[in-house]
Amino acid sequence: MLKTALEGKIKLKDIQVEVLSCRPIQGNGIVVKTKTPEMLEKLKTTIMNDLTLRDKCQVYIPKPRVPHIIIFDIPPQDGDQAAHENNFIIQLKESNELTDQEIKVVFKKKGRGSLQNWILAMQPKNYQEIKDKKRLRCGFNSYRFKEFLEPLRCFGCYRFGHLKRNCRETKPTCTKCTANHDPKGCTKPHPICRNCVLYNNSTNLKAAPLVFFILKYDLINWNDKDSEPTFETVNGKSWIDITMSSANLANKKRKWQILKICKAVHQKFLELQQEIQVIDSKQKLEKWIEELTITINQISQSFPRKVIKHLRVPWWDSELEVNRKKTWALRSSYQRCRREEERSMRRIVYKKQEAHYKWLIKQKCRASFEFFRQQLVANNAFDLPYKIAPQQNKKTNSSSIGENEQWTVHKYYRRNYSNNSSGIVSH
């Protein structure tokens, strides 16, 4: 690979170049992004000076996007289209007094009736000269125009980012269900977006915790693959309810179906039926109930309830709860982001919110402790020691108040008591 060859030949630390990202592109190439333009030139010079790398690859800096405009309702003409386009561009430059820079027709689109919409690419200087105008003059005519920002889309595979002439797909793609067949014979009732399907298959990891849970406890799925959806609205339908059990209950399964009884609500009910028609006596019924009870107890013991002990503090309030949820949401948003520039911005926002959340916790905790201290010393500054000592004295076997006082003085003020001949405790 090209990236491996570059890493083997070039030591970035020696040439003092910092690479921010390196990603593959079409044609077995790579795009390297450096911290500064100077580092980019230094890396380019280093590659071109190496004889081995110079024969393997070509180095160039990609050109920035050229501004595009769309001119509406241009009448078509017969004959040589290249000559017609050239004459149109010459008249456009002369009528609008544009500088002599390259302007070319990229492609054409169908307009109103028999008219056409032309997409033109021009240099940034030309675009700055006309961007504030409402219409472009061209000889005796004037045309409405605007900046063209429509994304590239392939009408072969219906994905964004390239055109049909550069598409790698060799088989036709259905415009309705995205399968590899002719769209005229498609029998699917609902259309499917190709880009949404590819995105969900490649980056959606929301089902990963459920998969890990199933693998960890060796569970089996009872859902019938041919059943109707358990959740259905005007926007779509899904199988969001899953019935699972341990492997030792696989032979207990009799019937799994979705009830049709609640048409008014979106959430349908699931029903598990146990066939007990073979039971014809009281003894068999009691035995069956006992076996069912034992089975349920075994399941309950094999899956103990997870109890999360939260710290209960008097200073926790709704403001801290809101900030905690906001911090978690920003952290999740930052961790999910894959675009480097946007990821750095989200990290800054998350770190600011996290710092504010920690500061708020300290403020609430300190204010709560100050309020607690004020309550303790509101009546008597020495109230706290007198409350602590009786709690300790409960462990003694004293029979009178005098003995209790002597035990307290001897335990907590032994040093002062022994050095004072009068027996009076000094603080």
Cross-strand partners of 103:
122
β strands within 156-306, DSSP E: 219-221, 231-232, 237-238, 244-246, 255-258, 270-273
The pLDDT of residue 327 is above 90: yes
- The Cβ of residue 74 has, within 10 Å, a number of other Cβ atoms equal to 17
Q: Which of 181, 167, 149 is nearest to 67 (CA)?
A: 149
Place of tokens 């399968």: 179
The pLDDT of residue 361 is above 50: yes
Structure confidence by residue, pLDDT tens digits, 366-410 = 998 888 878 777 766 555 555 555 555 555 566 666 676 677 667
Q: How far apart are CA 328 and CA 323, in angstroms?
A: 9
Give the three-class secondary structure for 59. coil
Phi, psi of 109, rounded to the nearest 5 degrees: -130, 160
Q: Give the DSSP per-residue string, 292-356.
A: HHHHHHHHHHHSPPPPP-PPP-TT--HHHHHHHHHHHHHHHHHHH---HHHHHHHHHHHHHHHHH
Q: How far apart are CA 413 and CA 407, in angstroms?
A: 10
| Those residues with Cβ within 8 angstroms of residue 17's Cβ, 6 or more apart along the chain or in another chain | 34, 39, 42, 43
**pTM, 2 dp:** 0.35
Q: Residues 120, 105: contact at Cβ < 8 Å?
A: yes
Q: Where are the domains of the chain?
A: 2-64+396-411, 68-147, 249-302
Per-residue pLDDT band for 171 (boundaries 50, 70, 90) equals confident
Q: Tell me, what's the pLDDT at 421?
A: 42
Phi, psi of 402, rounded to the nearest 5 degrees: -60, -45
Mean pLDDT of 265-282: 58
